[in-house]
Amino acid sequence: MMKQLNVAVIGTGWCGGIRAEACARHPLVDELHIAETNPARRAEMEALTRPASSTDDWESLLGVDGLDAALISATPETTHYPMAKAALEAGLHVLLEKPIALALEEADDLIETAESRGLKFTIGYSQRFNPKQAFARRSVRDGSVGDLRHVLVTRHVGRRLGAKIGNRIKLSPAAMEATHDIDFAFWCLEPRRPVRVYSQMAWGVRADTVGLADSQVTMVTMDDGAVVTVNAGMALPAGGYPNAATTWIELVGTDGSVMIDDTHKDIVHNTSTDGVHFPLSTMPGEYVEATYAGPMERETIHFLEAVANDTEVMVKPRDARLVMEVYMAADLSADVNEVIELPLTPDHQGLALAASLKQ
């Protein structure tokens, strides 16, 4: 008989709302409990998901009898560590949105807590569940492109979304956007490890509005000389991509390549009132009536299945910790205009954290 789960979703905004709805729709979930501080949004999610309980106090939610797992989608990102720590200490399996934490010692503490208690702990790197990215990785694993030598990802989001993120926390484009693409590149290249990082930021329209760079280019050298280049931009003008992403990916190996056009220009929605838009181009995806277009629903279900069936999660927390170390090194590199060697020394960890938080 299929084991059903009692699940809590903490924070039901954009991403948390998707996860809560996915849980409410799935037969693996018996009871859904939600925590949301915005009364209007909480009422909206209550009507949409009909949870067993709803509250504005996330800590009380962790005390619900019979709870199995918590999905933490709260903002600002400063809440991630204390919420995940409390959930793990309560004996719950945890899916935590990126970033895993703001400091490496916090990430290490969460990993140690989960491992010592035998709990599932994973980070929301939803792009691994994008079929285009999954195909790219398969092309590396099956050897069809030969020895992968260079991964390039260019991703841009609209300035409306960039401002929404930048107004809640001052973290760089590398930390808040390129993090997905660094994770994807390392996923394709594993078990290779990064050894040095160089990064630069381009400042423009966001400097005066949110005090952050428009874009950040990061180059990572792996231990075998393979190179990862990620360009993360957060300042596309409002228009066709008002709250969405456009992405180009290249994987080049010794025997072949994979080029991925994820610019979402395959559907053009053109109206006399709003002009041209490229729909279904959000990174997490969205429901389209009974169909879900995008990776986040599948990622959520994967976590539920891992908990119910006691199987491994795809995104290990140590993977997320490595990505965090790299984007912190990128912020430090951009700050001091130097190449940063990995792993970060204790002194560099402090400097990198300071550089990341002063963006």
Task: Give 242's pLDDT tier (boundaries 50, 70, 90).
Answer: low
Residue 240 scores a pLDDT above 80: no
Mean pLDDT of the chain: 95
Write down the pLDDT at residue 72: 98
pLDDT tens across 112-136, in order? 999 999 999 999 999 999 999 999 9
Which of 93, 119, 145 is the last residue before a domain boundary?
119
Q: In which domain, by residue range, is 178 found?
A: 128-301+320-341
Residue 9: inside a domain: yes
Tokens of 105: 């010692």
Supply the DSSP string of 282-314, one letter for each residue: -SS-EEETTEEESSHHHHHHHHHHHHHHT---S
Domain of residue 261, CATH code = 3.30.360.10
d(CA 359, CA 244) in angstroms, rounded, equals: 23
Write down the pLDDT at residue 234: 93
Handedness of CA 105, 111, 117, 120 (dihedral sign): positive
d(CA 21, CA 50) in angstroms, rounded, equals: 10
Which residues does 308 contact at the CB level (< 8 Å), separation at least 6? 2, 3, 4, 5, 28
Within this chain, do residues 182 and 203 fall inside the same structural domain, yes or no? yes
Nearest to 49 by CA among 65, 74, 72, 26: 26
Within this chain, do residues 207 and 268 fall inside the same structural domain, yes or no? yes
Which of 119, 154, 175 is the last residue before a domain boundary?
119
Within this chain, do residues 182 and 259 fall inside the same structural domain, yes or no? yes
Within this chain, do residues 110 and 148 fall inside the same structural domain, yes or no? no
Within this chain, do residues 93 and 160 fall inside the same structural domain, yes or no? no
pLDDT tens across 203-214, in order? 999 999 999 999
Domain of residue 79, CATH code = 3.40.50.720
DSSP β-bridge partners for residue 70: 8, 94
Supply the DSSP string of 14-47, one letter for each residue: HHHHHHHHHHHH-TTEEEEEEE-S-HHHHHHHHH
Tokens of 104: 């490496």
Residue 1 scores a pLDDT above 80: no
Which of 119, 139, 165 is the last residue before a domain boundary?
119
pLDDT: which is higher, 19 or 245: 19
Within this chain, do residues 69 and 186 fall inside the same structural domain, yes or no? no
Residue 272, phi-psi category: left (phi > 0), alpha (psi -120 to 50), beta (remainder): alpha
Within this chain, do residues 265 and 201 fall inside the same structural domain, yes or no? yes
pLDDT tens across 251-277, in order? 999 999 999 999 999 999 999 998 888
Residue 348 scores a pLDDT above 90: no
Task: Give 2's pLDDT tier (boundaries 50, 70, 90).
Answer: low
